[in-house]
Structure 1
Amino acid sequence: MSTELVIEKRTHDLGGGFIVGRVLPFKKRRMVGPFVFFDHMGPLDLAPGIPRNLDVRPHPHIGLATVTYLYNGRITHRDSLGFEQEILPGQVNWMVAGRGITHSERLEYARAHGANMHGIQAWVALPTEHEETDPAFYHLHGAEQLPEWQEDGVSSRLIAGDADGLRSGTPTHSPLFYMHWDMQAGACNSLSTQYPERAVYVASGAIEVNGNPLPAGRMIVLEPGTAAQIKAVQPSTVMLLGGEPIGERYLSWNFVSSSKERLAQARADWEAQRMKLPVGDDQEFMPLPDGLG
């Protein structure tokens, strides 16, 4: 099989029973292109009246952009810039942390109505020259901002970057691509060699990559320059991602940086409550976990 590595998601509880499957970072593969973090959220059925401890409380970031993308459910985003945005399936919340931002992710719709929560959150490390850029938030939706196309049983959406001659409206900082494919059973498609680092993740269903099986919950990291022929064994939801490498990054809790000293500064700022909390959200500081490097 023409792959560098197959990674299986590891189960994590974010608190109160909100389950995610963590794929990146992995001990044998920290990044794919600039993608330094990849969490598969759910699928999780939530009943009306769920407790507040399932929410992701206010927390900080530096040196990265978060990209939240849903298949089902809704999440309410609030941040320290004053943005409040409910994200729906097929839409993109792209938050540039830069020199520092805080945000919360609340399950307000599910609390009121119940919901099946299912989606992906990824972190994209910023190149060194943009690590300390001003924070920003973008909400994108529709085919004009997120190009869509259909071919031979595959429905595609370009979430971020450039691929197949198309460009997403998401304001990226380095060469990358991030796509969503919905594949009918038996459908085939190929992933080009445009970028040196590429990966394929199966969110649901089952596929074959160059004739080798890949079930749901696993990611393949492809060898540079090697074409990938992808076939759906059953109806499948597939995420494709990668880009140009941006160099070594250090990851500590919710912080990403090319400098360990910068990480230490960010931790100190959060512990001392010097970082502004999301506007209009509960005024609470999520504590730093023990044992940070």
Structure 2
Amino acid sequence: MLDLIIDARPAALSPGFEVRRILPYRLRRMLGPFIFMDHAGPVQVAPELLPSLDVLPHPHIGLSTVSYLFGGQVTHRDSLGVEQIIKPGEVNWMTAGRGIAHSERFEDPATLAGGALEMIQTWVALPEADEEQAPTFANYQPQQLPIFTDTGVWMRLIAGDAFGLRNDVKTHSPLFYLHVVLQPGARFGLPRGYPERGAYVAKGSVEVAGRTYSAGKLLVFTPGIDPVLVAREASTLMLLGGEPLGERFIWWNFVSSRRDRIEQAKADWQAGRIELPPTDNAEFVPLPQDRTRPAGSSPAPQALS
């Protein structure tokens, strides 16, 4: 039924801004094409302390970053010249391709609208044929993301194809990504037709096959098994998975199917060959010191997304 249970671990993105990191994990580097997942917040700080949460301009290659908020707002700026405020229920989908830099700023008191800032950040690895594509960015509004409701169930399709729902969010490989809210006692399953599937318990708790799993756990399910998740209390889940892409290397904020491409990205950032956002170029995150590390390890990702 369950292949693995991953507990979210604390990770610091900036001074005073700690998140819960779910992927990558030493026993599970990816889930379908998803190679990274952070849960930030809920964060409640005084408005004058908001700048301390900022994530300065930093680079990516070989992936799409996906930003989704439960509360608050974040200002995204990137080297394409895009400046986009993302709010709850929207999706920011940035495809880095051959290279992009972006920042995430918390510069408006409305960031804390509703009492707290809370967001889910994922990275989706690109198929080899798309790793060197030109970078792109798209913001999708709530009305572009279909919603399904039933007794005790509310669900939004963030991306991909699931339960007969589809939307116009551009993806590069078969996947599903869902925001699900369950009332106590509600029962829910997983989309079929995907070899790798998981459910992250963002809030509340769910029961699977007689065992209860609390918030902060990613449940990775055995292929071919169709589990039933039962909400033990009001619960929020993020369901995700899809077709695996094969081995990927990850170092800091770089993802690639080739080790040598990671080395090139390091050199490009160090030499200033990845452009900074034109409206946010006064500071940036320097390349981490590349000390000798055990195989498969790398500096912790700096990015929220």
Alignment TM-score, normalising by the size of structure 1: 0.96
Is residue 146 from structure 1 mapped to residue 124 from structure 2 by the alignment? no
> Aligned to 2:44, what secondary structure does the other structure show?
strand
Aligned length: 291
Amino acid at match of 2:282: Q
C-alpha distance in 1 between matches for 2:149 and 2:156: 9
Q: 278-287 vs 178-187, which deviates more?
A: 278-287
Once the two structures are superposed, residues 150-201 of structure 1 have per-residue CA deviations (whole angstroms, 9 ceiling, x without a partner) of: 0121100000100011112210000000000011111111113320000100
Aligned to 2:176: 177
C-alpha distance in 2 between matches for 1:282 and 1:51: 19
Aligned to 2:164: 165
Structure 1's consecutive aligned runs of 4 or more residues displaced over 4 angstroms after TM superposition are 111-115
- Conserved 8 A contact 1:193-1:226: no
Equivalences for residues 32-111 of structure 1 within 5 A: 32-50=31-49, 52-110=51-109
> Aligned to 2:134, what secondary structure does the other structure show?
coil
C-alpha distance in 2 between matches for 1:112 and 1:64: 26
Aligned to 1:267: 266
> How far has the Cα of 1:284 moved from its partner?
1.8
> Aligned to 2:69, what secondary structure does the other structure show?
strand
> Aligned to 2:48, what secondary structure does the other structure show?
coil
Amino acid at match of 1:203: A
C-alpha distance in 2 between matches for 1:110 and 1:247: 43
Amino acid at match of 1:50: L
Aligned to 2:133: 133
C-alpha distance in 2 between matches for 1:76 and 1:109: 9
> How far has the Cα of 1:264 moved from its partner?
0.3
- Conserved 8 A contact 1:46-1:110: no
Once the two structures are superposed, residues 57-89 of structure 1 have per-residue CA deviations (whole angstroms, 9 ceiling, x without a partner) of: 000000000000000110000000011110001
Aligned to 2:228: 229
- Conserved 8 A contact 1:152-1:188: no
Percent identity between matched residues is 53
Residue 51 to residue 108, structure 1, CA distance change in 2 (3 Å): closer
Amino acid at match of 1:116: A
C-alpha distance in 1 between matches for 2:156 and 2:262: 34
Aligned to 2:277: 278
Mind listing any 5+ residue stretches in structure 1 that lack a counterpart? none
> How far has the Cα of 1:110 moved from its partner?
3.7
Mind listing any 5+ residue stretches in structure 2 that lack a counterpart? 292-297, 299-305
- RMSD in angstroms over aligned alpha carbons? 1.4
Aligned to 1:25: 24
> Aligned to 1:228, what secondary structure does the other structure show?
coil
> Aligned to 2:189, what secondary structure does the other structure show?
strand
Equivalences for residues 219-258 of structure 1 within 5 A: 219-258=218-257
Aligned to 1:117: 117
Alignment TM-score, normalising by the size of structure 2: 0.92
Q: 276-285 vs 5-14, which deviates more?
A: 276-285
> Aligned to 2:14, what secondary structure does the other structure show?
coil
- Conserved 8 A contact 1:190-1:230: yes
